[in-house]
């Protein structure tokens, strides 16, 4: 499973880099493959571990914010392996 997620504390103003860094630390320490993008973090793994990781990130940001918006987009495909890399290679081969 690939999951793209973003977590936005609604009471921290325009810059939320501190909260993003907090989440990226949690993701990095999980050992799951991931990519940080300007608008979201993409993580790859089994469904239950991916969702548990996203909820840990949500809880970490929520612990210091009165309101948090979390967006999750999931790509769950049979037989997909190394999707973080293979999806990019597939597109690049078409260029």
> What is the value of pTM for the model shown?
0.87
Residue 78 confidence class, pLDDT cut points 50, 70, 90: confident
40-58 mean pLDDT: 97
> For the residues 4-14, what does the mean pLDDT come to?
94
* CATH number among 1.10.3720.10, 3.40.50.150, 3.90.1010.10, 3.30.70.930, domain 2-94: 3.30.70.930
CB 26 within 8 A of CB 90: no
Residue 95: pLDDT band with limits 50, 70, 90: confident
Residue 83 to residues 36, 39, 56, 59, 69: CA-CA distances in angstroms? 15, 19, 23, 27, 26
Examine the pLDDT at 74 and tell me if it is beyond 90. Answer: yes
């Amino acid at each position: 499973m690939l999951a793209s997620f973003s977590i936005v504390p609604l009471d921290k103003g325009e810059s939320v880099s501190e909260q993003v860094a907090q989440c990226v630390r949690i993701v990095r320490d999980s050992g799951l493959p991931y990519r940080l993008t300007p608008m979201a973090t993409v993580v790859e793994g089994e469904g239950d571990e991916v969702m548990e990781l996203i909820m840990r990130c949500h809880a970490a940001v929520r612990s210091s914010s009165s309101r948090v918006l979390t967006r999750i987009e999931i790509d769950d495909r049979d037989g997909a392996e190394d999707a973080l890399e293979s999806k990019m290679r597939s597109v690049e081969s078409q260029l």
